[in-house]
Structure 1
């Protein structure tokens, strides 16, 4: 059964037999490699290659920013070509680039490889979004997105655990196996993706402009508020570990406990939460809910610094449970809005713009949020909570404006079109 045949009502992130299961296996293999690389990239480049840590940080930051420029062009290409074949091709290129890290011996060569890697990663995310939409169809793409996110968490966790073996060995041979293992997962994932049938693109409307998504101000407004809220990922991945280490009496192992709690809840809740987002109306309401839930989490985390060890551990775990629910609300709503507010023939292009906005927010986030939350103390956490609540509150109104634009009036006239099912009254 494919996603088009209906959505299974169950908790497991593993989909039933069909196209989505094939895509899930490809995602699982690919993200095992991602986990390997995330666990070992910093130590490989500093201890095996011999680059200074500051150079590694600078290179990855510069590469990440340059890589965002590939989001929209490759998203547009996915709209005009078979996204299955394009994603497989990009993964073959990623395998070659991933393996070429073994040739890095200086900062210039590292920067070159890192930039190529970042361009492919950013572009591939847009192509993947178009592929998910093509496989799942309008009725199942948000569910499919949530399913693959749950599967990705399993893969990254497994890869990170395997990467720990290379880190424990701390030898050139161990790091070489880590790099080659990452490259191999791209090759296997590409092979799995090619098991899908060809997915022809939706014909573009007459006179459709190539850069329509970048000129769609109302979509950009919705995407911007979603991107602002997406900075919450920096809070969990960077700020909370630093907060635990410097501002609380909790043992350092709590950093792992927090991340494991987030991962486990994501695996079991992502698919279930996605069922509430059937159209843009529901997505906008879910984004509003995400803002309030994340605001509660931002107020809960700093209270952990005012308790003894036992109370601190309890508060940190409770805050992480609340945070994860808000994170899943946001991820589901963001996917729903970026799909439902896109022109049907330009899904990849719109996903590219959404990824570009989110990437910019996540690039700015580390410097801004460490300053706000670690130096600003309780007041900084309150400010961030207000920002999240406010962005959630304005999303329904911005979504109404986006759905009222002329192209949607035209599409809505077509019976059965996505826009016809997602008009917001009033």
Structure 2
């Protein structure tokens, strides 16, 4: 039992544990849907793959617009209640995929789904800040990331049953399972205590251009961090295509790569977050992350010139290197997004940060497919250079941002659940 407690990402009893169980439940459904959605919509519903791709892209792009307004709502109202309400609504929208029978209905459902997902991420960031407090919110963020990876991994594995059966009914069970986890997660979130909001936050803002959008230093730091999020597209989209089309490694190594990343994230996310305790340390760690991720890109490129066994070994070793860079960037980016935010507008700042990273991720598939799958080694090198430059610039930009911050409020004034 004690050995399990040392490797389990679930924290000790308390509000963070409650939020962790809610996250684990929710991401079990996410894993079901991520693994089975493409086959459900094509083999089950009968839509073409290009049509599905277009519909989901439209949904993702429209969904980006929800980050900022929902972040602002989380500053004015109880983020616990707001998140629970969003998840109940998402349960209904997730179930609506059962009604999809055409590209038009798919676009409608995908847009609603993406809007709620983007809004939920911004509200979750605000809720994490409230639950954990200023000192522990980055560790809490890392804990929830580890829990989420565990949930997605288990959910994706469970979806394998439906994928093996390969019938419309089996795929529909995945849809129902995903919708159910949203509802259960909402009930768990409601077990958290309500948040008391200072009266200053209930005053309506007179300007549509809130403080986060006027904060140029913060925008610069978040943009640099957002550029680094391109590495997520590399892992989830580019590597599977690269393995099957440009290397001699067996296709099965793609699953091994994703499992390696998931396991290391569960084991290391919280440990690595503990060293990132200030914005200055975070900026330096982002620089290190950019350089490590750049090295990983060059190593992935090399795999295309090796025999099968050597290519497989290099791909798995590189994934270890990649995951270290990924985790350094994740925890450091979270620290910067929280510590550089106006304490009275945490939700809005997280919404802007989510908007910038979401925009890069939306553009990433087209950009990296062109660069890497068409350009080969030169494309990998260009991607590595982009990640390295973004990392190297971050400490200087963050120092500028820190010089413009207002003095922090006394610890006694921090908001807690």
Provide the residue aligned with 2:58 in structure 1: 62
Tell me, in whole angstroms, the C-alpha distance in 2 between the residues paired with 1:56 and 1:231.
22
Provide the residue aligned with 2:276 in structure 1: 277
Deviation at 1:401, TM superposition (A): 1.2
Tell me, in whole angstroms, the C-alpha distance in 2 between the residues paired with 1:22 and 1:187.
15
Deviation at 1:172, TM superposition (A): 2.1
Between 1:308-317 and 1:342-351, the stretch displaced more is 308-317
Deviation at 1:297, TM superposition (A): 0.5
Give deviations 1:250-301, integer Å, cap 9, x for gaps: 1111111111111110010000000011121111011011011101101111
Does the CA contact (< 8 Å) of 1:11 and 1:272 recur in 2? no
Q: State yes or no: 1:326 paired with 2:325.
A: yes
Q: State yes or no: 1:194 paired with 2:193.
A: no
Give deviations 1:128-173, integer Å, cap 9, x for gaps: 0000000000001000000000000110011111111112222222
Tell me, in whole angstroms, the C-alpha distance in 2 between the residues paired with 1:207 and 1:101.
36
Tell me, in whole angstroms, the C-alpha distance in 2 between the residues paired with 1:49 and 1:202.
49
Tell me, in whole angstroms, the C-alpha distance in 2 between the residues paired with 1:187 and 1:262.
28
Between 1:13-22 and 1:173-182, the stretch displaced more is 173-182
Please give the secondary structure, in 2, of the residue aligned with 1:39: helix
Deviation at 1:200, TM superposition (A): 2.0
Runs of 4+ in 1 over 3 A off after TM superposition: 9-12, 202-210, 414-419
The 5 A counterparts of 1:364-379 are: 364-379=363-378
Provide the residue aligned with 2:118 in structure 1: 122
Does the CA contact (< 8 Å) of 1:79 and 1:202 recur in 2? no
Please give the secondary structure, in 2, of the residue aligned with 1:199: coil
The 5 A counterparts of 1:359-398 are: 359-398=358-397
Does the CA contact (< 8 Å) of 1:80 and 1:201 recur in 2? yes
Tell me, in whole angstroms, the C-alpha distance in 2 between the residues paired with 1:181 and 1:12.
24
Provide the residue aligned with 2:231 in structure 1: 232
The 5 A counterparts of 1:8-407 are: 11-204=7-200, 211-405=210-404
Tell me, in whole angstroms, the C-alpha distance in 2 between the residues paired with 1:367 and 1:108.
23
Does the CA contact (< 8 Å) of 1:202 and 1:344 recur in 2? no
Give deviations 1:291-323, integer Å, cap 9, x for gaps: 111011011111112222221111111111000
Please give the secondary structure, in 2, of the residue aligned with 1:244: helix
Tell me, in whole angstroms, the C-alpha distance in 2 between the residues paired with 1:105 and 1:244.
33
Does the CA contact (< 8 Å) of 1:213 and 1:350 recur in 2? yes
Tell me, in whole angstroms, the C-alpha distance in 2 between the residues paired with 1:247 and 1:59.
28
Deviation at 1:12, TM superposition (A): 3.4
Tell me, in whole angstroms, the C-alpha distance in 2 between the residues paired with 1:393 and 1:34.
34
Deviation at 1:202, TM superposition (A): 4.2
1:49 to 1:242, Cα distance in 2 relative to 1, 3 A:
same
Tell me, in whole angstroms, the C-alpha distance in 2 between the residues paired with 1:91 and 1:325.
31
Give deviations 1:356-403, integer Å, cap 9, x for gaps: 101110011111111111221212212211211111111111111112
Tell me, in whole angstroms, the C-alpha distance in 1 between the residues paired with 2:354 and 2:204.
25
Tell me, in whole angstroms, the C-alpha distance in 2 between the residues paired with 1:57 and 1:51.
10
Between 1:213-222 and 1:183-192, the stretch displaced more is 213-222
* Consecutive unaligned residues in structure 1, runs of 5 or more: 1-8, 420-426
Q: TM-score, normalised by structure 2?
A: 0.94
Does the CA contact (< 8 Å) of 1:29 and 1:189 recur in 2? yes
Tell me, in whole angstroms, the C-alpha distance in 1 between the residues paired with 2:412 and 2:398.
17
1:364 to 1:66, Cα distance in 2 relative to 1, 3 A:
same
1:130 to 1:202, Cα distance in 2 relative to 1, 3 A:
farther
Tell me, in whole angstroms, the C-alpha distance in 1 between the residues paired with 2:312 and 2:165.
32
1:282 to 1:177, Cα distance in 2 relative to 1, 3 A:
same
